[in-house]
Amino acid sequence: MASLRFDGMVAPMVLNSPINGAWFEVYVCQVLAPVLHPGDIVVMDSFSSDKRASVSAMIETRGAGLAFLPPYSSDFNPIETAFAKLKSRLRKAAGRTVDGIWSTIGDLVESSHRRHAPTTLPLQAMMAIVRSPR
């Protein structure tokens, strides 16, 4: 799990289990919220775990806004493109130990800041849509 800013991935968290509402709350509280700044806009999928009142409150308490993608809109979700790139690079690294895989994931997330210009262009367009006056 991670978030994507214009300049790359932030707030990564790796789980050895499926993501559910409880884990998503932990992620937002302990990993995402601390890196949010007033005026940030968090754009999330429309999963029920994402729409919990506690999740919204944690984000809004940091002064950030919240917007949801329409259901079934993975084409508009730039994090999907970023994760596809990360998974491809992870397979190429061919780590064979848990520690090696974790280390590779960390390196890939760190280096994402330098490589995400093509991925973040849709994000910039999405954010421009979200921020446009209604």
Looking at the predicted structure, is the pLDDT value of residue 76 above 80? Answer: no
DSSP 73-98: -GGG-HHHHHHHHHHHHHHHHT--SH
Distances 103 to 15, 95, 109 between C-alpha atoms, Å = 14, 9, 10
Looking at the predicted structure, is the pLDDT value of residue 79 above 80? Answer: no
| Structural domains counted in the chain | 1
Q: Give CA–CA dist 109/50, Å, rounded.
A: 23
| Residue span of the structural domain in which 101 resides | 3-131
Report pTM.
Answer: 0.68
pLDDT digits (tens, 9 = 90+) for 36-73: 999 998 888 777 676 788 999 999 999 999 888 887 76
Q: Contact, 12 vs 1, CB < 8 A?
A: yes
Looking at the predicted structure, is the pLDDT value of residue 95 above 50? Answer: yes
Predicted pLDDT of residue 8 = 74
The CATH code of the domain that includes 98 is 3.30.420.10
The four Cα atoms 11, 83, 110, 63 give a dihedral, to 10 degrees, of: -30
Residue 104, CB half-sphere, CA atoms under 13 Å: how many? 16
Higher-scoring residue by pLDDT: 112, 3: 3
